[in-house]
Structure 1
Amino acid sequence: MRVHLGSDHAGLELKDHLTAWLLDHDHEVVDHGPFVYDALDDYPVFCLRAGEGVVADRAEGRMSLGVVIGGSGNGEQIAANKVTGVRCALVWSEETAVLAREHNDANVVSVGGRMHSLEDMTRFVEVFLATPFPGDERHVRRIGQLSVYDETRELPPLPASALRGPDGTDSPSESADA
């Protein structure tokens, strides 16, 4: 599988480690940088490119995933999620790595290089890459709602249960719109 990598200075050591690990496990690596330590680098430069790479590959029918890495992983996740078609999940355990794939069909994972040991983070990425998306209807439906919103900026309709207040009357926000 092709794996796109991007990080900031705080994730550089893990990115370099992951590059070697991925190659040892027969993955094709596309490294979007950085390539040298610079404490003032800007993670969006690298994480946006990793996300774009995943989306472009998938548009061509190639299975690829992405990994973005920073100190906490938060900013990197936000950056990757700005790319239309990316679903990037911040993971901090094996369970969150599995759920990111099984429930959200995440195609990019974000990890915090300062939050966990090198071994743990490698394991999170390994689990993420190995976990398939089973395609359960409820998850496909939810992902579809997000995709439609991305394209149209129209909110999905509220379910009937959300149109009633706790006392059984119409919800004030919905009845005012009616």
Structure 2
Amino acid sequence: MRVHLGSDHAGLELKDHLTAWLTDQGHEVVDHGPFVFDALDDYPVFCLRAAEGVAAEQAEGLDSLGVVIGGSGNGEQIAANKVIGVRCALVWSEETAVLAREHNDANVISVGGRLHSLEDMTRFVEVFLRTPFTGEERHVRRIGQLGDYETTRDLPPLPASALPGYDAGAGSADDAS
């Protein structure tokens, strides 16, 4: 599998570690930078490129995922999610790594390099890469709603239960008095 990496200065140590670890695991790594420590660098420069790489390759049918890394992972997640076709999840545990793949078919994860040990973050990435999407209808439907909104900007229709006057016991909003 090809894995795209991007970070800022706070994630540089983990990114460099992951580059070697992923290669040892048999993955092809695409490192979008940074390549030297610069305390004033801007994470969007690197994280947008990593996310673009994943989106472009997945659009071509290739097996690619991505990891973006910062101090907290928050800004990096926001940046990655600006790329059409990317579903980036902030991961802070093995469980969130599993759920990102199983329920959201996340194709990029973001981790906070200042919040976890190198070993823990490596494990989060390993779990993310090894966990498949379940393909359950409800998850496919929800991801489809997000993709539709991404391209059309049309909001999905509200379910009957969200409409005023809905009474679950009556069966529909039209039956409510």
TM range (shorter): over 0.9
Where do 1:1-178 residues align within 5 Å?
A: 1-165=1-165
Preserved contact between residue 160 and residue 166 of structure 2 (Cα < 8 Å): no
Alignment partners' CA distance in 2, 1:149 and 1:62: 24
Identity over aligned residues, as a percent?
Answer: 86
Give ranges in structure 2 of 5+ residues lacking alignment: 169-177
| TM-score, L = length of structure 2 | 0.93
Alpha-carbon distance, 1:164 to partner:
2.4
Alpha-carbon distance, 1:166 to partner:
7.8
Alignment partners' CA distance in 2, 1:141 and 1:5: 29
Cα deviation digits, residues 35-94 of structure 1 (max 9, x gap): 000000000000000000001111221110000000000000000000000000000000
Preserved contact between residue 86 and residue 107 of structure 2 (Cα < 8 Å): yes
| TM-score, L = length of structure 1 | 0.92
Cα deviation digits, residues 120-162 of structure 1 (max 9, x gap): 0000000000000010000000000000000010100000000
Alignment partners' CA distance in 2, 1:24 and 1:53: 21
SS at match of 2:4: strand
SS at match of 2:144: helix
The code of the aligned residue for 2:71 comes to G
Alignment root-mean-square deviation, CA: 1.2
The code of the aligned residue for 1:23 comes to T
Give ranges in structure 1 of 5+ residues lacking alignment: 169-178
